[in-house]
Amino acid sequence: MTSTQPTAAEVATTTVRAPATARRLPGIWRASMARSAVELKGFFRNKQSLIFTLLFPVLLLLVFGSIFSGTVKGTHTDVKQVFMAGIIAAGVMSTAFSGLAISIAIERDTGTIRRLGITPMPKTAYFVGKLVRVVVTAVLETILLVGIAVTLFGLPMPDTAQRWATLGWDLALGTIACAMIAVAYSALIPNSRSAAAIVTPVFMVLQFISGVFFPFNQLPSWMQGVAALFPVKWMAQGFRSVFLPDSFAVVEPAGGWELGRIALVLALWTLAGAVLSALTFRWRGPRVN
């Protein structure tokens, strides 16, 4: 009678081959790059996302840029140039906060997040993919807004290496901070149908109190204090230091650009957003009413 028990050689072969199969699972780097590609393709193929996320700040720039006139009191700086610098911060928030929070709510409703959570994909890859998409779109948004502001409204380009460097770190820190906040804020969104209603008011209010539509020094002091608690005000101030003359700094609340404080506040928001995201994000499907 032939024995059905595995031989010692077969046992050894099985024992050796099992780890080889595990090693073939995608690593964090490979999975993150693959997920980033999926995120970018999905974003640019979604016309609704393109219009709301990328073109909405452009429309605001064109409309308000054509309306504003005159100079800011106590300076020789055109009001529309102050607005141009502020709308760049709003553009970053549009891509990194509004667009991301809404997309996470949609993915939760469709069950995408739950399905990704039970796959072998490293969970870190999901967040890296989101961050790559946000950074790419924020850079494109900034290039688009600056190009229009310079071409149509005479916004001066940065004229020193220091200003270019400030543009780089302010854009990077502001984008990452808004993205981390968006991931955490998405926990408050019950479903995709209410996502825009929950996200858009926050987006619009922070623009108004953070010196985007009006010179920050002309806002009530209590409003300035509230705005200083959030990153949009600091992003906008950083962008003003890049595009506006140094003489404009005298009308800032502290009488200067406060670049060190801007970097510190944005870094703290990035850290706080990451901690809140880790505490609130759940790999679940849609909520059942």
- Any idea where the domains of the chain sit in the sequence? 26-280
Compute φ and ψ for 96, nearest 5 degrees. -85, -25
Nearest to 145 by CA among 23, 236, 13, 42: 236
Query: How many helices (DSSP H) and strands (DSSP E) are in the chain?
Result: 13, 0
Contact criterion met (CB below 8 Å) for 39 and 131: no
**Structure tokens belonging to residue 54:** 């990328």
Alpha-carbon distance of 94 to 172, in angstroms, equals 14
Contact criterion met (CB below 8 Å) for 250 and 232: no
pLDDT in tens, the chain (289 residues): 444 445 544 444 444 444 544 455 568 888 889 999 999 998 888 877 777 778 889 998 999 889 888 888 888 889 999 999 999 999 999 999 998 999 999 999 999 999 998 888 889 999 999 999 999 999 999 999 999 999 999 899 998 999 999 999 999 999 999 999 999 999 999 998 999 999 999 999 999 999 898 889 889 999 999 999 999 999 999 999 999 999 999 999 889 999 999 999 999 999 999 999 999 998 987 665 5
pTM of the model: 0.86
**CB-neighbour burial class of residue 15 (10 A; exposed 0-12, middle 13-18, buried 19+):** exposed
